[in-house]
Amino acid sequence: MAYKIQEERCVGCGACAWVCLFGAPALEDDKPVYRINEKKCVSCGHCEEICPNNAIAPDHTHKPIRKVTIDPQKCVGCSVCEHVCPEKAPHGELHKPFEIDQEKCFQCGACAVRCRHEAILVEYM
């Protein structure tokens, strides 16, 4: 996906796994180093910011998220997005379409990953 861990620089401290909201970094099976699960990574970049050894960097296909919005036609107002967002950017009333406060949203994509109704749209740069 968007981020890769350079195995030769990883010391296995676990900082990347601690900060990731999606469980993307995990220990290698037979090595004391982490790898990033491409299916779980949403390209938020928190792992890169926290890594003490600068072992994490975006790969050549990295496309940062530009904007996250909710499609009111698909949103059922279940509030899952609100509960998984670390900044509580999605807000609304149960059973009515939610909205995202763009001032609070830092484009991590947590809400889009968890939405079961595909109501959250992610625009990439």
CA 119 to chain centre: 16
pLDDT-derived band at 30, boundaries 50, 70, 90: confident
Helix (H, G, I), strand (E, B) or coil at 114: helix
3-state DSSP helix/strand/coil % of the chain, to nearest 5: 15, 20, 60
CATH number at residue 72: 3.30.70.20
In which domain, by residue range, is 94 found?
65-124
- Residues 51, 80, single domain; the answer is no
Contact (Cβ atoms closer than 8 angstroms) between residue 87 and residue 26? no
What's the confidence (pLDDT) of residue 76?
A: 97
Do strands 3-5 and 56-58 pair parallel, antiparallel, or not at all (unpaired)? antiparallel
pLDDT in tens, 36-86: 988 888 777 889 999 999 999 987 776 777 889 999 999 999 999 999 888
Both 45 and 74 in one domain: the answer is: no
Question: Same domain, yes or no, for 54 and 83?
Answer: no
The number of distinct structural domains making up the chain is 2
92 and 49: one domain? no
Beta carbons of 102 and 67 less than 8 angstroms apart: yes
